[in-house]
Amino acid sequence: MSLAERDKKVIWHPYTQMKNALPHIPIVRGEGVYLFDEYGKKYIDAVSSWWVTIHGHAHPHIAAKVAEQLKTLEHVIFAGFTHEPAVQLAERLLPLLPGKQEKVFYSDNGSTAIEVAIKMCLQYWVNTSKQPRTKIIAFKEAYHGDTFGAMSVSGRSIFTDPFASLLFDVEFIDLPNEKNIEQLKSKINYLSNEVACFIFEPMVLGVAGMKMYEPHYLDQLIETCQKHGILTIADEVMTGFGRTGKYFSCEALTTSPDIFCLSKGLTGGTMPMGITTCNEKIFDAFLSEDKLKTLYHGHSFTANPISCAASLASLDILLKPETLENIHRVVAKHEAFALQIKDHPKLKDVRQAGTILVLEWETGTDTSYLSGLRNKLYNYFLERGIILRPLGNIIYILAPYVISNDDLDYIYQTITKALNDI
């Protein structure tokens, strides 16, 4: 049997209706921006394998550092113990984050990083107030993960519908703009005595369809929260590590969130890891002789040394001048193509934030994750050796930073042809 046939017998794939799923493409090797299947076909990974592989596949520097760590220490319980890779990663990462982030809490992935942040904020108020605040503010179309806390602070959608009665209530607000910003600030002011925290994806809402908004409106929301002591959580799981043209999206703000959630590009896509960082104010709220004020949260693989080693290696690459040059090169290429294609009659919208380029196909109806156009677009690009995983009728390019100009041009040319063919 082929790998795809064996897969069908034993695997349940994510976000997939297995009843009518096409055979899954059997990938046997990766190199740079390319993936190779068992039949020898080459694909450009234009979505960085779910936005994680920022430096390309099988990067030799990350591989060498992971192999070196495997020969030294593969894992150790992180309650009561520590190790060099975890300490070094925290020491190197914290100064890169906007504002004054003081502590790193390790977990396993983006969803768990969000869970930790939510628990930090809610328990902060239990630890510091006789009348703890319990409300959370989030954007209506946000996506923060698939665990229950992360689902609760995500917009209600097909991802959360089966569990709707089990999710805790959240005050959802629209994305801020010139017309509604004062109304949104008024709502925060009105609810201020009840709100524990405000969680947001800075500047780009990923799963919502790569929806984008201006940083100065986010600044105003954060400032309003700070006025009332409301804690703020920046979900940079997708936008972190260079995706919007800066190392972190929140660098575009004049304010600083209390908490950052990181994952995806953290390890360069090598293996799972989540990080939640916080400022001194939050950490200090848990320091007490009272054991009940402890943050009772942890994971078996908290601060796994191999994941930390991969993250350190990924940081080595990210901070090299040539990586920033590549990021700026990709941004410039996207800007030029966006300008060229923006008035095409088959496109409802073209938008860009740093290395993220988004094309929203016109369907004559509302944009939908379940758009029938999705499979046509997906298969069209796959047949031509490009992996673009549409969000319904929206396609986006989120490639590794090492992608060449020639490969970008080929993707742009194929998109242009698709606009004529589909």
Nearest to 200 by CA among 166, 164, 157, 239: 239
What whole-number distance in Å separates Cα of residue 257 and Cα of residue 260?
7
Q: Which of 294, 346, 272 is closest to 123 using CA atoms? A: 294
Rounded Cα–Cα distance for residues 43 and 386 (Å): 5
Q: Respond yes or no: is residue 421 known to be catalytic.
A: no
Residue 284 designated active-site? no
**CB within 8 Å of 84: residues ≥ 6 apart:** none
Q: Which of 135, 211, 264, 333 is catalytic?
A: 264
β-pairing, 347-353 vs 356-361, is: antiparallel
Residue 20 CB partners (closer than 8 Å, separation 6+): none
Residues 59, 327, 14: CA angle, nearest 5 degrees: 60
The catalytic residue among 15, 179, 366, 406 is: 15
Asked about 264 being catalytic, the answer comes back as: yes
Residue by residue, what is the 3-state secondary structure of the chain? Answer: CCHHHHHHHHCCCCCCCCCCCCCCCCEEEEEECEEEECCCCEEEECCHHHHCCCCCECCHHHHHHHHHHHCCCCCCCCCCCCCHHHHHHHHHHHHHCCCCEEEEEEECCHHHHHHHHHHHHHHHHHHHCCCCCCEEEEECCCCCCCCHHHHHCCCCCCCCHHHHHHCCCCEEECCCCCCCHHHHHHHHHHHCCCEEEEEECCCEECCCCCEECCHHHHHHHHHHHHHCCCEEEEECCCCCCCCCCCCCHHHHCCCCCCEEEECHHHHCCCCCCEEEEEEHHHHHCCCCCCHHHCCCCCCCCCCCHHHHHHHHHHHHHHCCHHHHHHHHHHHHHHHHHHHHHCCCCCEEEEEEECCEEEEEECCCCCCCCCCCHHHHHHHHHHHCCEECCCECCEEEECCCCCCCHHHHHHHHHHHHHHHHHC
Whether 143 sits among the annotated catalytic residues: the reply is yes
Catalytic annotation, pick one of 45, 108, 235, 407: 235
Catalytic residues: 15, 143, 235, 264
